[in-house]
Structure 1
Amino acid sequence: AKFRTAEPIDDGKGCGIRQPIEVSEALPGIALGGAAMRCKTALAMAHWLKDTVQPALNIAMPGRRIAGIVPGSTYDCRLRNGASTGKISEHARGNAIDVAAFKLDNGETLEMKPRAEDSTMEGAFQRTATAGACLHFTTVLSPGSDAAHQDHLHLDVLERKNGYRYCR
């Protein structure tokens, strides 16, 4: 990964990252655009891309390579789902990243969207990448899993009791 350490973020109200990094590449050649997050989040992202996403793409679209991630929300001081009341979002702690799309080395962009019934190779790739994310992240909300997650894949590393994971 290519990253730089950044100044601590403290936006009050429980928001912030004590030791943030700004990730320009999640893995060599996979751009992430300087997204701010905790090291643990970046590490989970790198393992997921290397162990699940690229191998799935190799099968779905032989010869293609992931060249970048189009992030949705990364660090953002807000409540879950942008609500006005409720629990603080993992985005507000640097524990989460939303993936809006994958950029491929041929210039194509694979947008994240509900694909439960999509029988194309793109659909199979997205479902495989999403399912595999649960091996690396503790929360995975796939496109279409709820009203707030129609056009992106939410990934976070929230620590829960007994190693519980929430994957939809």
Structure 2
Amino acid sequence: MTLFRGFLLLCVLLAGVLLTVWRGVLDVPPRWNPWAPLDIRETPNLLTSFKLWRLQEDPALCQQALATSPLRFTPLADSNPSADCPLHNTVRVQGSGVRFSSSFMASCPLATAFALFERHGLQPAAMAVFGQPVTQVDHVGSFACRSIAGSQRRSQHATANALDIVGFRLQDGRRISVLRDWPKEGANGEFLRQVQQAACASFNTTLGPEYNAAHRDHFHVDMGLFRMCR
């Protein structure tokens, strides 16, 4: 009973602190304020996932976060709810600090998570392993109005909330392929493993070649409800 009362008191105190921060009574740095807009440039912390979650139903807040990144994008109009796969709060991503093999549609939270991944995961991994940056990300698409293979449940691709990445190109022109290089020892394989772990930190779900045969040639990343790193 004493332990329960102590836990209850801690919850009440925490709720009180959050209320004072929300009302502006207690001034804290934006990166430690749950209600401050997400800044892509700041190192991710325990509040980053909460701030990403807040972007789902708030296009203006999401675009405010994207404005702190080098991502180049165009906001898209919501599609008709009667469509098989209606889209809401989406953008078309044209480029960033990296090029893309083609532009793609993305939910705004997915685009924001990619911007975090690029700055705090992908490029640091490339510099650590190769001493040079990634200049292009090769992908095979984001939006596809379909269900998960062997299931009746809609894929995250059906809401442009997922992206399949097949490889990367470095500044010296070298191409790193998930299909070819994941099984290998050495720099290429080490880089891909670091990239996968970095993706797990930025996206809710990251599935790679060791998840199943269907993912042997790409990293699937999405911003679905469940967290998974495989």
Amino acid at match of 2:91: I
Is the counterpart of residue 166 in structure 1 residue 228 in structure 2? yes
SS of the aligned residue for 1:148 comes to: helix
Q: Which has the higher contact order (CA 8 A, sep 6+)?
A: 1
SS of the aligned residue for 1:107 comes to: coil
Is the counterpart of residue 17 in structure 1 residue 79 in structure 2? no
Q: Decide which moves more: 150-159 or 136-145.
A: 136-145
Counterpart CA distance in 1 for 2:202 and 2:86 is: 23
Return the structure number with greater helix share.
Answer: 2
Paired residue for 1:72? 140
Q: Which runs of 5+ in 2 are unaligned?
A: 1-70
Q: 1:114 to 1:39 in 2, by over 3 A?
A: same
* Shift in Å, 1:114: 7.2
Residues 68 and 102 of structure 1 are in contact (CA less than 8 Å); yes or no, is this contact kept in structure 2? yes
User: Which residue of 164, 169, 193 maps to 1:103?
Assistant: 169
Paired residue for 2:107? 38
Residues 97 and 154 of structure 1 are in contact (CA less than 8 Å); yes or no, is this contact kept in structure 2? yes
* Shift in Å, 1:135: 0.9
Is the counterpart of residue 4 in structure 1 residue 74 in structure 2? yes
Q: 1:59 to 1:140 in 2, by over 3 A?
A: same
Paired residue for 1:47? 116
* Identity across matched positions, percent: 25
Residues 115 and 127 of structure 1 are in contact (CA less than 8 Å); yes or no, is this contact kept in structure 2? no
Residues 114 and 143 of structure 1 are in contact (CA less than 8 Å); yes or no, is this contact kept in structure 2? no
Is the counterpart of residue 141 in structure 1 residue 212 in structure 2? no
Return the structure number with greater strand share.
Answer: 1
**1:27-83 CA distances to partner (integer Å, 9 max, x unpaired)?**
33x112321011100110111111111111111111x211111111311101113x4
Counterpart CA distance in 1 for 2:153 and 2:213 is: 17
Counterpart CA distance in 1 for 2:208 and 2:142 is: 16
Larger-Rg structure? 2
Residues 75 and 92 of structure 2 are in contact (CA less than 8 Å); yes or no, is this contact kept in structure 1? yes
Residues 182 and 209 of structure 2 are in contact (CA less than 8 Å); yes or no, is this contact kept in structure 1? no
Counterpart CA distance in 1 for 2:162 and 2:86 is: 12
Aligned-pair RMSD on alpha carbons? 1.9
Counterpart CA distance in 1 for 2:214 and 2:169 is: 23
Counterpart CA distance in 2 for 1:145 and 1:159 is: 18
How many residue pairs get matched? Answer: 158
